[in-house]
Amino acid sequence: MIQRKNENWFRMLFIWQGSVLPKILPRLALLFMFTVAVVYFKNDLFYKIPLNPAPFTLFGIALALFLGFRNTASYDRFWEGRKLWGALLNDTRSLARQFLSLSPYERDSKETTAFINLLIALVYALKHQLRKTDAGTDLYKYLDANTALELSDVHFKPVILMNKLAAMLKEARQKGEIDSITLVAFDQNLDKLSDIIGGCERLASTPIPYTYKLMLHRTVYLYCFLLPFGFVDSLAWMTPVVVTFIAYTFVGFEAIADEIEEPFGLEPNDLPLDTITRMIESTLLEMTGRPMPEHIAETGFILT
């Protein structure tokens, strides 16, 4: 995810990284050349399309409203994903705090280390599941070889790791190390983790209906490629500039909506899952007095 400090208004006009311009520039170039051709051959066309700017103005307003709803729907998905990962940070901290304060184990005991490692591994497993990437390397850092190997062929790794957390608590209850009231408190936070995992899976597996996106995509490009015929008589050689600028607005909004509607991806403006994961990992390790891993100490939490 790209996050910048507030830039000078003039410098913002030339920012490239984080903009959708690199993605849509070939389309705008094609439209610009098409518009130049329309202007150049306007008196030589076998059939001049009789269009004027008035219908485009009215239709443009309607299309802008439609794009606004489309972007709102995409941003709602983006923001819901961010809230889910913010809740994941809070709930993993709460579970770690409960284990440190309500269980009889010392902060540096093997039981505490195992519990915290399972929490960190769960966060990494969820990130990789949502991105459809291999979690093996990250899991081997915090799980023993047998557990990591057991998870190698499992699709829903976060759920299995959550079950292992519950099994640890169940074993502690059977040994009389925690009472039933404490177990219920733990279980409430485990339920929250389950809700977060399910919410992330729902976002990842239920995109905006394809027919909705397809209709908007076709409408935007049809509108943009008809614009030159409506403005060529009134704007002449300014037509390519005006049409390309209008297209930049409409095509750019559509590209932004496409980018952020899948918040867990690897696009520049998607959620910074790597950074959030490192933050959760760091705070859980600090709670147990363990050193920060080198990959966190070197990179920090800058959103890039």
Q: How many domains does the chain have?
A: 1
Is 8 inside a domain boundary?
Answer: no
Task: With cut-offs at 50, 70 and 90, classify the pLDDT of residue 209.
Answer: confident
Task: With cut-offs at 50, 70 and 90, classify the pLDDT of residue 303.
Answer: very low
Question: For residue 108, what are the domain limits?
Answer: 24-41+48-304
Report yes or no: 226 and 63 within 8 Å, Cβ to Cβ: no
Dump pLDDT digits (tens) for 24-73.
899 999 999 999 998 888 776 545 566 667 777 778 888 888 888 888 99
Is 1 inside a domain boundary?
Answer: no
Which pLDDT does position 65 carry in this prediction?
A: 85
% of the chain surpassing 70 pLDDT: 88
3-state secondary structure of 143: coil
Tell me which of 35-44, 190-199, 295-304 is least confident. Answer: 295-304
Listed as own residue / partner, the contacts of 63-69 with beta carbons closer than 8 Å and 24 or more positions apart are 63/219, 63/220, 63/223, 63/250, 64/250, 66/216, 66/219, 67/216, 67/220, 67/250, 67/253, 67/254, 67/257
Is 16 inside a domain boundary?
Answer: no
Residue tagged 């990130």 (tokens)? 127
Q: How many CB atoms lie within 10 A of CB 106?
A: 11
Is 266 inside a domain boundary?
Answer: yes
Dump pLDDT digits (tens) for 85-121.
999 999 999 999 999 998 888 888 999 999 999 999 9
Is 121 inside a domain boundary?
Answer: yes
Provide mean pLDDT across the span 160-168: 94
Residue tagged 């690199």 (tokens)? 22
pTM of the predicted protein model: 0.85
Query: Is the confidence at residue 275, as pLDDT, over 80?
Result: yes
Is 18 inside a domain boundary?
Answer: no
Is 5 inside a domain boundary?
Answer: no
Distance CA 102, CA 59 (A): 63
